[in-house]
Amino acid sequence: MKEVEVLGQSMGKAAGLPTLQKGFCLVLTILIVTHITSQSTIAQVKNYDDGWQNDIQVSGGRTILVEEISATWCVSCADIDPYLQQVADAHGSRISIVTYHPADGEDAFQPEAAKQRIDRMRLVHENIGATPTFVVESGQLRIGPDSWPDVQKDILMEETNRQSASQLSYTISQNGTTYNAKINPLSLVDTEYNTQLTFMLMVHEKAVPDGYINPGEAYRDRVVVATASCELQSNSLTNIGFTNSSANNCDDDFSVYFTTDGKFSLVLIHEATNEVVESDTGRASTLGVVEFAYRDIELTSEVNILPYIFFTMISIGVIWVIYDKKYS
């Protein structure tokens, strides 16, 4: 972007400034770049109250996957859960937070699809299981609500280090309470190992049944209830929880079908197969992620304070220049 090029030139000119002024320029540049990029990062969310009119094409790929292990009986999980949706909306399409409920005999949901994804996480983190646990792109375990600042750092680090991402796209259509999502032409990152495309279905406002320990609200969000994977090398399918899945060629016509009468999110992931991750855990992070959400938008005007920081830094800079000219 032209704005970033100009900033780069300005930073070059700043090379001759004193150390403290260089530091200011660096901080200001980071803030401006973050502000610029955040403007083009819009969550692919359709407001549930608006209803469904036409087929929707979903495209992207640079989204960062944040995996959470939660439980309906977990007190600290119940405390943080209502705020995570606002966090996701504040980040826009930068992140996708998916939540797995374990098959522990006590959780109210225990979806088989979540068990499959937790088993995949255990290929990297053998002792994973505490709730809540957050993992950004198969990185370090972040345990407990107090670990969220570390999660934010992991997200920023992953965005900084990511060189490329698969460009993913699918079209989702509705017929009553039945939905169908089908792959559109893709541009996938080339790899030396076998990969797969994975659809993941999350249900929002999923009611907690009576008879289970529930220290929180009457429902939970982002509950993963279905996954379907298509292995690109063999075009073989694995489906857990979707009504149906089909594919002649994974990257051409991979489709999933599901039924729901409520709010949901559908995530498409390009990732290494489980067999590859088992042999090399360094390849566990995603190659591309895109999410579509059909739900209420939880973003409030209080979430984005970046403009205030931005203009504060500009004001400090102006005062600094005036002071420098006066006393140099």
- Give, in degrees to the nearest 5, the angle at Cα 122 between 117 and 128: 105
Is 146 inside any structural domain?
Answer: yes
Total domains in the chain come to 1
Domain enclosing residue 199, as ranges: 45-295
Q: Select from 158, 173, 137 the least CA-distant residue to 58.
A: 173
Q: How much is the pLDDT for 91?
A: 80
Is 31 inside any structural domain?
Answer: no
Q: How much is the pLDDT for 14?
A: 39
Q: How much is the pLDDT for 44?
A: 85
Strand partners, 258: 179
CA distance readout (Å), 67 to 91, 101, 137, 151, 153: 15, 11, 8, 10, 15
Is 161 inside any structural domain?
Answer: yes
Is 327 inside any structural domain?
Answer: no
Q: How much is the pLDDT for 2?
A: 39
Q: How much is the pLDDT for 86?
A: 85
- Number of helices (H) and strands (E) in the chain: give both, helices first: 8, 17
Is 303 inside any structural domain?
Answer: no
Helices (H), 170-293: 250-253, 274-279
Contact partners, residue 190, CB within 8 Å, separation at least 6: none
HSE, side-chain direction, 13 A CA sphere, residue 93: 24
Helices (H), 63-190: 75-91, 112-122, 148-161
- Give, in degrees to the nearest 5, the angle at Cα 117 between 113 and 122: 145
Q: How far is CA 82 from the centre of its chain?
A: 17
Q: How much is the pLDDT for 112?
A: 98
Is 234 inside any structural domain?
Answer: yes
Contact partners, residue 150, CB within 8 Å, separation at least 6: 140, 142
CA-to-CA distance for 270 and 288, rounded, in angstroms? Answer: 5
**Contact of 69 with 133, CB cutoff 8 Å:** yes
Q: How much is the pLDDT for 8?
A: 40
Contact partners, residue 86, CB within 8 Å, separation at least 6: 298, 299, 300, 303
Beta-strand relationship, 64-69 and 95-100:
parallel
- CATH number of the domain residue 239 falls in: 3.40.30.10
Strand partners, 270: 197, 288
Q: How much is the pLDDT for 13?
A: 42
CA-to-CA distance for 44 and 64, rounded, in angstroms? Answer: 14
Q: Select from 133, 138, 233, 252 the least CA-distant residue to 192.
A: 233
Q: How much is the pLDDT for 33?
A: 42
**Contact of 159 with 94, CB cutoff 8 Å:** yes
Is 3 inside any structural domain?
Answer: no
Is 159 inside any structural domain?
Answer: yes
Residues in the chain where the model's pLDDT stays below 50: 1-17, 19-20, 22-42, 300-305, 308
SS3 content of the chain, % helix, strand, coil (to 5): 35, 30, 35
Q: How much is the pLDDT for 11?
A: 37
Beta-strand relationship, 223-231 and 236-240:
antiparallel
